[in-house]
Structure 1
Amino acid sequence: MNIRLLTLGAAICLLTQLAQAQTLQPGLWEISSNNMQLNGQALPNLELLLGNLPAEQRQMAEQAMAKQGVAIAGQGVRICLTAEQAKTDNIPLLGAQAGCTQQITERSAQLWKFRYSCPQGKGEGQTRFVSDREFVTTLNSTFTAGGQPQSGSLESRGRWLAADCGTLQPRQP
């Protein structure tokens, strides 16, 4: 699996994880993905995918993600959500992606439905808020990887870990 596809898969996961910001707690969040599929084929979790990469490629992927404010740890990826990001009505991670737009199509206290579009892909999904410290997102997307059209789906679960993000820096818009 090439590093571009892996990074794109992680980005899709990240796009979904913050489709909330309603009343979430700021701080360190862990997002784990389940039921990931690419073109109808089940994919292993991100940690297993990265574990199958040669050490040099894994290090490159981790460094690229770290520059984007993302760490691979625990059961998935970790991100730092600032108080300002937690208060917005936007998906904070989309703002960091050049050329991406988003639209919340339906919003209630417990459920947000959304669409997004980026230069290399688009999709739609929904986020169900379990509490201000947990959410579940499902996403269906289409994108181009390696010049080929792809389709993917996943379910991710976000859970708040701590108010202090430690050394992990928040994503910058």
Structure 2
Amino acid sequence: MNRIFCTAFLLSVTAIPASANQEHIRPGLWEVTTTSDLLNLVPHIPPDSMRQITDLAKQYGLVMPEIRDKKAISHVCITPAMAAQDIPAHFYDGQSGCSVKNARRNGNRFQIEMFCDNPQFQGNGTAEGVFTSPENFSGHTEFDSIVMGNPVYATAETRGRWMGEKCGTVQPVTRPSPPPHIFPAQ
């Protein structure tokens, strides 16, 4: 059960895009679709546990993606300031106690290394990908971690597409202060 709980939380973190494009991405609303074998476990999460996961994600300013057809679909608002950055590491930095090191780009390709170290969650991973245009990207994330004493290895494929200039009700990603405990007591 802990593994399923941790897997769903990891997916909420890895569904957030990063950019590295010479032309810069377009600000506005983006749809991000993530596929992973771990999404096969989501139907087995009891409703009470899913509420805990959703509440935990909200504490970090994250919105749990919609899970449909073994895909996690989320909407992200990119501000003009975010879009102007070459490598906006803040997409990952500070999320669930993680920090970014060695963020780099080469043309339209990017790579980011993530490191997480707190009492309930330790691990590291990489996110890499390419922007094929200012309105589209694809990427791959790998994350190897220990969550509440359980080893969890996750990989995900991500695709993003620009939906329009207006974000509507979707708020930009922020870096809130983390709560004192990442996972509720068992």
Q: Is the 8 A contact 1:28 1:164 kept in 2?
A: yes
Please, what TM-score do these two structures have when normalized by structure 1? 0.77
Q: Is the 8 A contact 1:21 1:85 kept in 2?
A: no
Q: Is the 8 A contact 1:115 1:123 kept in 2?
A: yes
> What amino acid sits opposite 2:165 in the alignment?
A
Q: Which residue among 140, 146, 149 is the counterpart of 2:148? A: 146
Deviations 1:70-120 (A, max 9, x none): 353486111211111112232222233245123224x22221123221222
Matched, 1:20 2:13: no
Matched, 1:72 2:96: no
Classify the secondary structure of the residue corresponding to 2:12.
Answer: helix
- Which sections of structure 1, spanning at least 5 residues, go unmatched? 37-41
Counterparts of 1:84-99 in structure 2 under 5 Å?
84-88=81-85, 89-97=87-95, 98-99=97-98
Deviations 1:28-59 (A, max 9, x none): 1111112x2xxxxx3336xx82x544444434
Structure 2 Cα separation of the partners of residues 160 and 115 of structure 1: 25
Classify the secondary structure of the residue corresponding to 1:140.
Answer: strand
Counterparts of 1:122-133 in structure 2 under 5 Å?
122-133=124-135
Shift of 1:21: 6.4
- Which sections of structure 2, spanning at least 5 residues, go unmatched? 176-186
> What amino acid sits opposite 1:118 in the alignment?
C
Matched, 1:58 2:41: no
> What amino acid sits opposite 2:8 in the alignment?
L
Match of 1:39 in 2: none
Q: Is the 8 A contact 1:62 1:72 kept in 2?
A: no
Structure 1 Cα separation of the partners of residues 111 and 171 of structure 2: 28
Q: Is the 8 A contact 1:71 1:168 kept in 2?
A: no
1:57 to 1:166, Cα distance in 2 relative to 1, 3 A: farther
Shift of 1:62: 3.5
Structure 1 Cα separation of the partners of residues 79 and 111 of structure 2: 23
Classify the secondary structure of the residue corresponding to 1:95.
Answer: coil
Matched, 1:6 2:8: yes
Classify the secondary structure of the residue corresponding to 2:25.
Answer: coil
Count of residue pairs the alignment pairs up: 161
Structure 2 Cα separation of the partners of residues 58 and 21 of structure 1: 35
> What amino acid sits opposite 1:30 in the alignment?
E
Q: Is the 8 A contact 1:19 1:112 kept in 2?
A: yes
Structure 1 Cα separation of the partners of residues 46 and 164 of structure 2: 32
Please, what TM-score do these two structures have when normalized by structure 2? 0.72
Q: Is the 8 A contact 2:98 2:116 kept in 1?
A: yes
Q: Which residue among 97, 103, 112 is the counterpart of 2:110? A: 112
Shift of 1:60: 4.0
* Mean Cα deviation higher: 58-67 or 74-83: 58-67
Percent identity (aligned)? 23
Shift of 1:140: 1.7
